[in-house]
Amino acid sequence: MTGDINMIIVMKPGASEASIKNVKQIVENKGLQTHISSGQEVTVIGVIGDKSKLEQGNIEIAPEVDKIVPVTESYKLSNRKFHPESSKIKVGNTIIGGDEFTIMSGPCSVESEEQILQTAFAIKKAGAQILRGGAYKPRTSPYAFQGLEERGLQLMKEAKDATGLNIVCEVTSLEAIESAVKYVDMLQIGTRNMQNFYLLKEAGKTGLPILLKRGMAATIDEWLNAAEYIMAEGNPNVVLCERGIRTFETATRNTLDLSAVPVIKQKSHLPIIVDPSHATGVRDYVAPLSKASLAVGADGLMIESHPDPKTALSDGPQSLTFDQFEELMGELKTIAPLFKKTL
Ligand code: PEP
Ligand code: MN
């Protein structure tokens, strides 16, 4: 199919610039496009266009070509075949997907200046790198608190300026994106909008890092295709977030699919974090599943916290108190080295 990356040409480790250029030239002379991804050791060249135009033999005998791998999956740019090295995504002054285990925390909704500042200072002290807080809330009921909107974004920015934390906010519409780009370090696409392709494209166009939550009924394949929508806009800065899926089980709000972490790590080069708060809906389950997320290879966590969870305007029952958050951070710091992560 025209426009797709149908195959990738994997160069030998340490292949010279001249060999890479030569292969690129051979492919482009056949009327096909190339997309180069250079890792520290290996460069891969994606071939875009009608693959029947390419006689594989020609390329395979070109100097320093290792092999040609067909990419049969519909997601290409997010595919690990296309980008063998794990991606590291810069969010403000922190990096997700490297050695560090990244912690995002904060209230479900930004409620007041006092609430968000108190939270920002508390999570910063405990060692978090990113403050989360919803300003546009996609609530199940139209009568529930819908968020402070632009005022919420302004308060998040105020908390950023006061603490030096990076900030992430969910966007639910084009208007929200237009406002959020003025304030935030990262845009969040929530579970309900994972397949809102228009919104994905608009978020992609901003160039900002995007936290893409898994749709509550989406397969991993659909999730990676959603990431592809963002990346196809020329924005490679996508971080995935497993936040639980709908199953028959009702003891927890959703069922945390921890197996998604190693599956994603195999299929994609994108970082993945876990949100045990929305996955369970129950405060007591957040700490054990946070530790399990670290153990299965996640790159970080999103954890809801609140100065006084019982008065929270949304998601109080799953929000940690600051004491609970600090205690969890201490435990994570102790075990992180076992999983080759720093915190
Ligand atoms: C949130 O992070 O506040 C949120 C609404 O999450 P989700 O989209 O995973 O339900
Ligand atoms: Mn919430």
71-90 pLDDT, tens digit each? 889 999 999 998 989 999 99
Q: Which ligand is nearest to the CA of 253?
A: 1
Q: Cα 317 from chain centroid?
A: 25
Residue range 298-318, pLDDT digits in tens: 999 999 999 999 999 999 999
Percent of the chain with pLDDT over 90: 85
Does residue 260 register a pLDDT over 70?
Answer: yes
Residue whose Cα lies nearest atom 8 of ligand 1: it is 190
> How much is the average pLDDT of 23-49?
88
* DSSP letters for 114-139: HHHHHHHHHHHHHT-SEEE-BSS---
Listed residue (215, 185, 221) closest to 96, CA to CA: 185
Residue whose Cα lies nearest atom 5 of ligand 1: it is 190
Residue 53 C-beta-side C-alpha neighbours within 13 Å: 15
CB 165 within 8 A of CB 128: yes
By most ligand atoms within 8 Å of CB, the mutation choice from 170, 171, 186, 223 for ligand 1 is 170
* DSSP letters for 280-332: H--GGGHHHHHHHHHHTT-SEEEEEB-SSGGG-SS-GGGPBPHHHHHHHHHHH
Longest Cα–Cα distance of the chain, Å, equals 68
Indicate the angle between helix axes 322-335 and 113-126, nearest 10 degrees: 20
pLDDT reported for residue 91: 98
Atom of ligand 1 nearest to the CA of 132: 2
Q: Which ligand is nearest to the CA of 314?
A: 2
CB 79 within 8 A of CB 265: no
Q: What is the rounded distance in angstroms from the CA atom of residue 332 to the CA atom of residue 339?
A: 10
CB of 306 within 6 A of ligand 1: the answer is: no
Residue range 130-165, pLDDT digits in tens: 999 999 999 999 999 999 999 999 999 999 999 999
CB of 105 within 6 A of ligand 1: the answer is: no
Confidence at 1, pLDDT banded by 50, 70, 90: very low
Confidence at 49, pLDDT banded by 50, 70, 90: confident
By most ligand atoms within 8 Å of CB, the mutation choice from 275, 286, 305, 313 for ligand 1 is 275
- E-assigned strand segments in 127-271: 130-132, 166-170, 186-189, 210-213, 238-242
Residue range 189-203, pLDDT digits in tens: 999 999 999 999 999
Count Cβ atoms below 10 Å from residue 23 Cβ, excluding itself: 23
Residue range 268-279, pLDDT digits in tens: 999 999 999 999
Cα distances (Å, whole numbers) of residue 319 to 12, 67, 119, 126, 322: 49, 50, 12, 16, 9
> How much is the average pLDDT of 286-293?
98
By most ligand atoms within 8 Å of CB, the mutation choice from 168, 187, 213, 254 for ligand 1 is 213
Neighbours of ion ligand 2 (CB under 5 A): 108, 315
Q: What's the chain's average pLDDT?
A: 95
Q: What is the rounded distance in angstroms from the CA atom of residue 48 to the CA atom of residue 263?
A: 26
Does residue 329 register a pLDDT over 50?
Answer: yes
Residue range 94-138, pLDDT digits in tens: 999 999 999 999 999 999 999 999 999 999 999 999 999 999 999
At residue 290's C-alpha, the angle toward residues 289 and 291, to 5°, is 90
Phi and psi torsions of 6, nearest 5°: -95, -25
Burial class (CB in 10 A: 0-12, 13-18, 19+), 140: exposed
Q: What is the rounded distance in angstroms from the CA atom of residue 222 to the CA atom of residue 245?
A: 13
Q: Does residue 262 come out as left (phi exceeding 0), alpha (psi in the -120 to 50 range) or beta? A: alpha
CA 80 – ligand 2 centroid, Å: 31
Q: What is the rounded distance in angstroms from the CA atom of residue 181 to the CA atom of residue 243?
A: 24
pLDDT reported for residue 2: 46
Q: What is the rounded distance in angstroms from the CA atom of residue 123 to the CA atom of residue 107?
A: 11
CA 56 – ligand 2 centroid, Å: 50
pTM to 2 decimal places:
0.94
Q: What is the rounded distance in angstroms from the CA atom of residue 67 to the CA atom of residue 56?
A: 10
pLDDT reported for residue 38: 84
Listed residue (161, 165, 169, 149) closest to 209, CA to CA: 169
